């Protein structure tokens, strides 16, 4: 019998067409630089007293980083993968100053923002960066207003190196948010000012839709659907529940309102990228109608290794991280990401920063892509009786900076529930469902600790 070369040829042709139709691109996500210009002397950000001579050249866990680390991270991005479609930069560039009123000010904050803007523009001269604000970028910390102000106006001009249209400048100048169609396929970028929902922001506590951002967002997503675009949303402070600590960064009403807008447009949103938590995490928006996983949410690790200190708790040890994301330019679908990190202790000891790959998401999670459906399967594995899935995830959260702390059952349940439940009521209900002990009891110390974080704007 003759081999069916004709059928084989047709199948190969179809396969070749499928492969060719996937137009892959990539972008960097970098966040939470928290540059401390006083690192080598006063150390305004340091949460513990560390002698100047004991502060490593690339930083130390008790302080925000010196320029050496900020500069190294951006140059590492270029050295590792210079040909990216764009860069996502999700804010918090100003240090955690202990005495902000004496150590910072609008002009100082703007100098820091301009310095990092210039660094990114110089190192990636032919690449568009899409920036957004972190809560520390404003002075006073987190108090973002709903009207024009000096910081909005200045940065709208400074960021015009990448964002030069009048419509972008209009919303940047009045609310700190914008949208832009990328140069690849029909993928649209929406940069939100989620600091307008942050519970440390006393300017917005009683405003239903601060700066009309959510009304605007609903319109942008509606138009994107009409124009057959796919949207990547970025922001700084994340909605939902911070895990494993178990509290929300947002005002409850603002959290609910934002979640409603997002869930009304699950078909058009390809992914959401955020910062603020200083840790490597993911979450998933599920459809309200058919309970299917619809939108992947990625929280990227920080450049800063700063650790909070309170009477109740001390933050975990973390290494700096930068993330390279692979995506489909036609659909915005996220295919994979490569998480890089710097072993800070080793870099300080050797006097040289060697940024290396910590893991590749697809391989680490054993999934075909980074779709919400695939991440949903990873989430279900976390309930395994084996400790390895959750412990590996928990260790990666801090870029392998803390390999000794164990994620116990309570920690696992909190992370599992926080991955898909974006309001406190459903999150707590989930905890009851997965816990054999019924409603979980929270210590007074943990409650006080959470209140300190949200009220002081510590992050």
pLDDT of 231-260, one tens digit each?
A: 999 999 999 999 999 999 999 999 999 999
pLDDT band, very low/low/confident/very high, at 185 (cuts 50, 70, 90)? confident
| Torsion of the alpha carbons at 391, 392, 397 and 401, rounded to the nearest 10 | 90
pLDDT of residue 313: 83
* Residue 1 predicted with pLDDT over 60: no
b/e string for 124-145 if b means 16 or more Cβ within 10 A? beebbbbbbbbbbbbbebbbbb
pLDDT of residue 7: 56
Are 138 and 144 in contact, with CB atoms under 8 Å apart?
yes
In a domain? residue 364: yes
Computed from CA positions of residues 192, 193, 196, 199, in that sequence, does the dihedral angle turn out positive or negative? positive
Domain containing residue 336: 17-456
* Residue 438 predicted with pLDDT over 80: no
pLDDT of residue 65: 98
* Residue 455 predicted with pLDDT over 60: no
pLDDT per position as a tens digit, 317-351? 999 999 999 999 999 999 999 999 999 999 999 99
In a domain? residue 353: yes
Q: Average pLDDT for residues 410-427, to the nearest whole number? A: 96
pLDDT band, very low/low/confident/very high, at 442 (cuts 50, 70, 90)? very low
* Residue 20 predicted with pLDDT over 80: no
In a domain? residue 8: no
Mean of the per-residue pLDDT values for the chain? 91
The CATH number covering residue 313 comes to 3.60.21.10
- 33-422-248 Cα angle (round to 5): 55
In a domain? residue 4: no
In a domain? residue 111: yes
Domain count, the chain: 1
In a domain? residue 11: no
> SS3 for 439?
coil
In a domain? residue 226: yes
pLDDT per position as a tens digit, 273-320? 999 999 999 999 999 877 899 999 999 999 999 998 887 788 889 999
Q: Rounded to whole angstroms, how far apart are CA atoms 147 and 144?
A: 9
pLDDT per position as a tens digit, 49-81? 999 999 999 999 999 999 999 999 999 999 999
Predicted TM-score (pTM) of the model is 0.91
In a domain? residue 363: yes
Q: What residues pair up with 129 in beta bridges, in sequence order?
A: 87
Percent of the chain predicted with pLDDT > 90 = 83
Alpha helix (H) ranges present in 139-207? 150-158, 166-175
Distances (CA, A) of 443 to 319, 413, 440, 446: 29, 17, 10, 5
- 145-109-120 Cα angle (round to 5): 110
């Amino acid at each position: 019998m003759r081999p069916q070369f004709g059928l084989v040829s047709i199948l190969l042709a179809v396969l070749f067409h499928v492969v060719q139709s996937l137009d892959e691109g990539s972008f960097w996500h970098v966040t939470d630089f928290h540059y401390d210009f006083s690192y080598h002397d006063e150390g305004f950000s340091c949460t513990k007293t560390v002698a100047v001579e004991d502060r490593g050249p690339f930083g130390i866990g008790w302080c925000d980083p010196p320029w050496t680390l900020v500069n190294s991270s951006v140059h590492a991005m270029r050295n590792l993968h210079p040909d990216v479609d764009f860069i996502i930069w999700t804010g918090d560039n100003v240090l955690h100053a202990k005495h902000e009123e004496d150590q910072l000010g609008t002009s100082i904050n703007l100098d820091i923002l301009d310095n990092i803007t210039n660094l990114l523009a110089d190192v990636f001269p032919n690449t568009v960066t899409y920036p957004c604000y972190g809560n520390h970028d404003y002075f006073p910390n987190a108090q973002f207003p709903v009207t024009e102000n000096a910081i909005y106006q200045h940065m709208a001009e400074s960021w015009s190196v990448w964002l030069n249209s009048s419509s972008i400048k209009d919303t940047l100048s009045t609310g700190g948010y914008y949208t832009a169609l990328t140069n690849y396929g029909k993928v649209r970028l929406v940069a939100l000012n989620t600091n307008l929902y942050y519970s440390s922001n006393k300017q917005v506590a009683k405003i239903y839709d601060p700066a009309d951002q959510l009304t605007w967002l609903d319109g942008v997503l509606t138009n994107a659907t009409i124009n057959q675009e796919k949207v990547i949303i970025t922001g700084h402070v994340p909605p939902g529940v911070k895990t494993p600590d178990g509290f929300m960064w947002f005002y409850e009403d603002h959290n609910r309102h934002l979640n409603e807008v997002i869930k009304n447009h699950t078909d058009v949103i390809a992914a959401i990228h955020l910062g603020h938590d200083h840790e490597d995490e993911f979450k998933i928006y599920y459809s309200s109608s058919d309970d299917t996983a619809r939108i992947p949410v990625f929280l990227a690790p920080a450049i800063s290794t700063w650790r909070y200190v309170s009477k109740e708790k001390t933050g975990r040890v973390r290494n700096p991280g930068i993330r390279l994301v692979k995506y489909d330019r036609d659909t915005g679908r996220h295919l994979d990401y490569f998480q890089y990190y710097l072993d800070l202790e080793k870099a300080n000891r050797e006097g040289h920063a060697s940024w290396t790959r910590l893991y590749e998401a697809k391989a680490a999670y054993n999934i075909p892509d980074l779709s919400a459906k695939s991440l949903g399967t990873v989430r279900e594995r976390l309930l395994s009786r084996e400790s390895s899935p959750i412990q590996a995830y928990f260790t990666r959260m801090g870029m392998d900076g803390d390999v000794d702390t164990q994620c116990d059952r309570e920690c696992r349940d909190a992370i599992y529930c926080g991955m898909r439940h974006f309001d406190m009521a459903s999150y707590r209900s989930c905890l009851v469902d997965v816990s054999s002990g019924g409603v979980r009891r929270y210590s007074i110390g943990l409650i006080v600790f959470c209140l300190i974080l949200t009220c002081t704007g510590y992050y």
